[in-house]
Amino acid sequence: MSRQPFRFPSFPRDEPQVDQAPPEVRTSRRRLRACHECDWLVALPPLRAGQKADCPRCGHTLAKRHRQPAQRSMALAVSALIALMLAASFPFVSFSVGGIGNRIELSQTATTLIGFHQPIVAIAVILTILVLPAVYLLGVIWLQFGLLRGEPLPASRNIARSLSHLHPWMMADVFIIGALVSLIKVAGLAQIELGISFWAFCVFAALLLFTTQSLDSDWMWFSLTGEPLAPEGARTGETAASQGLTGCSTCGLVNRLASGGHSHCRRCDEKLHSRLPHSLQRTWALLAAATLMYVPANVYPIMTTTSLGHTTPSTIVGGVVELIQMGSWPVAVVIFTASVIVPVGKLVALAWLCLVVKRSNELNAGSRTRLYRLTEFIGRWSMVDVFVVAILVALIRAGSLMSITPGPAALAFGAVVVMTMLAAMTFDPRLIWDTPLPRETRDPQGTPG
């Protein structure tokens, strides 16, 4: 009689409802989406982990699947939050020259600016590198914890709406580049020592990036509130606006617009518009304001350096020239690209898109949409120069031996960055794909007849 090998009994595991199956498996209905960039109405196909669904018209990603999205986002958010707490608790960087030195913590890169009468710049720095990332991570943890326990926590819908609005304003990765540029500029003049906080913040910036990429918004919203039935008579392969429909910019749900009144999304309660109201007018206004602010940002000094009692003001372009003279070509290229090429290129690109938007057609709409995506992506990287000033002002404080103070251009340049980012947000790329009316259907004033 042969003996069977002993096997431990297997116990059933209670897998969280959110991770049991993707939305396509938990419903037999078509799940419609209207592309946020070209307004094309499509039905999402079944997606497996690692797959994504792109708009067949413009290539914009409509949904992206991850394996175990709730656990993934939860683990990354908790890890990033721990790294952020470590970064805020230890010394960030220190320098010494001639027996005199200084050591700063991460928060001092913002608080020191207040002492130099730059409270707005200080608030912008502390918000983008500490406060908003911390709020974002806490929101992700709150949402995913509720989904993993099978019952969403209170205010989950409002928190989920807020995450998409916070994402563009978190700039931990840009701050790391600014820190590296600052250290390279000082390395030739003083001895630099990196603290635990610096390395912890580098880890935090990477984990924050992974957290934002791991968040499966489509799956999260479906798990939070389900998905109402698509509007009756909706036809795929056409624009949503031509059918009186629109896609929610926050949760993606396709809704029917109310005639003559304000509409709100049935799932997340976000305000709905067929096209962003006064999109071109708002974009032009922000571009004009950013152009005006760009003049003092380059004319006035962005910081003033005192070395051995000698004071030298430095403009943005002047700082690039100094780096070239020091032999720091790579750093000079980074600063010139972030502070000159990117802002000017963004202003020119958005102005050109506003001018040609009414003359777009299917042949050139794709390339113009790609230009808009690039413009929207690169705008935040211009904050490198502002972060460089914040770090150097906090770190280099050795009296008449060596010290750096912020100049008026720091506020002006920060305003340029913010206004160009807002200009990209107010520009509605769906206007590029809207077919202009023929001349014979317009009245003499150029408005639709």
Percent of the residues in the chain that have a pLDDT greater than 90, as a whole number: 42
* Residue 246 in this model has a pLDDT that exceeds 80: yes
Q: Work out the average pLDDT over 271-295.
A: 93
Contacts of 158 (CB under 8 A, 6+ apart): none
Predicted confidence band at 28 (pLDDT cuts at 50, 70, 90)? low
Q: Work out the average pLDDT over 343-365.
A: 88
pLDDT of residue 435: 67
- Are 83 and 98 in contact by the 8 Å Cβ rule? The answer is no
Q: Is residue 210 part of a domain?
A: yes
* Residue 19 in this model has a pLDDT that exceeds 60: no
Alpha carbon of residue 113 to chain centroid:
24
Q: Is residue 95 part of a domain?
A: yes
181-217 pLDDT per residue, tens: 888 877 767 788 899 999 999 999 999 999 999 998 8
Spatial distance between the Cα atoms of 243 and 92, rounded to a whole number of angstroms: 56
381-408 pLDDT per residue, tens: 889 989 998 998 888 876 666 788 898 9
- For the chain, the average pLDDT equals 85
Q: Is residue 440 part of a domain?
A: no
318-327 pLDDT per residue, tens: 888 877 877 7
Q: Work out the average pLDDT over 94-120.
A: 85
Residue 155: both structure tokens together: 């205010």
Residue with the bigger pLDDT between 3 and 410: it is: 410
For 109-119, b/e burial (b = at least 16 CB within 10 A) is bbebbeebebe
Q: Work out the average pLDDT over 101-127.
A: 90
Distance separating the N- and C-terminal Cα atoms of the chain: 94
Domain of residue 180, residue span: 69-222+276-428
Spatial distance between the Cα atoms of 261 and 17, rounded to a whole number of angstroms: 38
Q: Work out the average pLDDT over 111-121.
A: 90
pLDDT of residue 420: 95
Predicted confidence band at 147 (pLDDT cuts at 50, 70, 90)? confident
Predicted confidence band at 375 (pLDDT cuts at 50, 70, 90)? very high
Lowest mean pLDDT among 28-32, 128-132, 247-251: 28-32
Number of domains comprising the chain: 1
Q: Is residue 347 part of a domain?
A: yes
pLDDT of residue 439: 40
Percent of the residues in the chain that have a pLDDT greater than 70, as a whole number: 87
Predicted confidence band at 92 (pLDDT cuts at 50, 70, 90)? very high
pLDDT of residue 288: 97
288-320 pLDDT per residue, tens: 999 999 999 999 999 888 776 677 788 888 888
Q: Is residue 184 part of a domain?
A: yes
Q: Is residue 397 part of a domain?
A: yes
Q: Is residue 48 part of a domain?
A: no
* Residue 166 in this model has a pLDDT that exceeds 70: yes
Predicted confidence band at 443 (pLDDT cuts at 50, 70, 90)? very low
pLDDT of residue 328: 74
Q: Is residue 418 part of a domain?
A: yes
Residue with the bigger pLDDT between 259 and 72: it is: 72
* Residue 14 in this model has a pLDDT that exceeds 70: no
* Residue 286 in this model has a pLDDT that exceeds 50: yes
